[in-house]
Structure 1
Amino acid sequence: MSRIATKIKEARIKAKITEKELAKKCGLTASYIIQIESGKKVVNEKVAENILEALGEKLEFMYQEDKNEEKPVTSIEKKRKNNNKDEFYTVEPTEQWSDALANIIKKFPIYETNNNKIVGYKELPVLGKKIDGYSWDKVLFIKSPDNKMEVFRIKKDDIITIHLTSEIQNNCIYLFEINNKKMIRQLRKESNNKVIISTGVKGEDLVTTELSRIKVIGKCIKAEFELG
């Protein structure tokens, strides 16, 4: 059993909580916590830090102790010493690595804005059940359909992260549906149950509609683009 696995188990017992309770605090499964503590799963630094933080412990000294211990010289290190020059070596991920990563990395589909067609995927780490500070099951990814929101640096084919919500915060950008068509625009709610729809272009003719006519899907929180 690794030093970190032992530390996690001891800290959990000290905190007088079960594996299930600890898993809930960290956004993991009870079976995953059990496998970590038994040494069957290799836990990376970020996950270990997240677990220990939930238990009121710190990770730093664990790695410092490991550095101070004498470690066996690997065949790669021997080869480096013999060659006495810088080289790159390919490290193949083990099955334990893959299992550990599978519990914190999730695959999210990217949709076309209007037809819900999947056009790609994003693989993202999910720590504490959150992505960019939002619950992972309340996050949606879509491809921008056009350049109409270019004032806000959102261009055609950019990948937009959406936080699913029906609430409107004035002057924020939203994905919503009106007249059976989805679009991305800046919204401002008025006191008379009216909503002003804008692309942000200076001098544009603003569109005003009844709040009841639009269905807010979510708030745009980030836009990404690919170089080249």
Structure 2
Amino acid sequence: MSIIGTNIRNTRNKKNLSLKELAKKSGVTEQYLADIESGKKIPNQKLIESISKALGISVDLLEPSYFSQYFEEDDEKNEPKAPKHKITDKKPIEEDNAISSALSKAVRKIPVIDKMTSVKDFPNKNDIVDYKYEPVFQNKATNVPVGEFVYYIAQDNAMANSRILKGDLALVFITDSIRNGDIILYTERNKCYIRRIAFLEKEDILLYADNYEYQPILSSQRNINIMGKVVRVEFKI
């Protein structure tokens, strides 16, 4: 299911607009809009702007920032009160269990992969070579679906000018909400690549490196599987 498609459908229903009406206002066919809402097609940035204008809302309401849920400050009234210290006669094993439980909420386990043999149930357990532990932001991991992030070990120097070198760990946010110029992780013919993406006319896309030694690839959305966007990189020193 597409995040953008779901937001478009929900907003359209709230405004009592039919598929046909919104499609006409947005300059696309009714079937194409239906495919976007169902997640079969990913709209480019220009089309997202057209649809948001037709709905009379901000683009951010269709394509919200994916980091907002982690860094958004909580209201003071929602802040948990510090627990009072008290003497307890609980057994050490119960205390250890409590500490383990607290630590499990303070960090999250993110899989590390270096290939992709299947796009089903991504990341596939057979492709996982390691795990990294990341701190939880603002104690909000309990509301975040498991498997939202994955680390991918870069296999080439195609994105060297973006400071992603072979062997570096690229943190990938698993999403289908992709914008022009995003660095994405995608598969084509059972091989993984990290490249920038540019949406062209219809379903055509350009996948390009920022290292001149690697040639750009003209392809179609139908020929690739976009797994997510690179949001951070960890490199060796």
Q: TM-score, normalised by structure 1?
A: 0.54
Question: After superposition, where does 1:204-215 map in structure 2 within 5 Å?
Answer: 205-215=215-225
**Contact 2:209/2:215 (8 A) holds in 1:** no
Corresponding letter in the other structure for 1:108: I
CA distance in 1, matches of 2:156, 2:140: 34
Match of residue 200 from structure 1: 210
Q: Quick check: which one's strand share is greater?
A: 1
- Structure 2 gaps of 5+ residues are 1-73, 86-94, 118-125
Question: After superposition, where does 1:4-23 map in structure 2 within 5 Å?
Answer: none
CA distance in 2, matches of 1:163, 1:148: 20
Q: Which of 108, 127, 133 in structure 2 is aligned with 1:117? A: 127
Corresponding letter in the other structure for 1:200: D
**Contact 2:105/2:141 (8 A) holds in 1:** no
Q: Which of 194, 197, 201 in structure 2 is aligned with 1:184? A: 194
More relative contact order in 1 or in 2 (CA 8 Å, sep 6+)? 2
Distance 1:170 1:157, change over 3 A: same
CA distance in 2, matches of 1:215, 1:155: 22
1:129 to 2:141 alignment: yes
For the aligned residue pairs, the C-alpha RMSD in angstroms reads 3.3
Corresponding letter in the other structure for 2:156: D
Match of residue 100 from structure 2: 98
Match of residue 218 from structure 1: 228
Corresponding letter in the other structure for 1:197: L
1:165 to 2:175 alignment: yes
Match of residue 55 from structure 2: none
Q: Deviations over 1:29-85 (max 9, x none)?
A: xxxxxxxxxxxxxxxxxxxxxxxx56715579x69x99xxxxxxxxxxxxxxxxxxx
Match of residue 143 from structure 1: 153
Shift of 1:136: 5.0
Shift of 1:213: 0.9
Distance 1:210 1:125, change over 3 A: same
Distance 1:130 1:153, change over 3 A: farther
4+ runs deviating over 4 angstroms: 57-60, 202-205
Shift of 1:135: 5.3
Corresponding letter in the other structure for 2:179: Q
Shift of 1:94: 5.5
CA distance in 1, matches of 2:142, 2:78: 21
CA distance in 2, matches of 1:224, 1:188: 25
Q: TM-score, normalised by structure 2?
A: 0.52
Shift of 1:220: 0.7
Q: Which of 41, 47, 56 in structure 1 is aligned with 2:77? A: 56
Corresponding letter in the other structure for 2:141: K
Number of aligned residue pairs: 147
Match of residue 154 from structure 1: 164
CA distance in 2, matches of 1:135, 1:111: 19
Percent identity of paired positions between Structure 1 and Structure 2: 23
Distance 1:205 1:122, change over 3 A: closer
**Greater Cα radius of gyration, structure 1 or 2:** 1
- Structure 1 gaps of 5+ residues are 1-52, 67-92
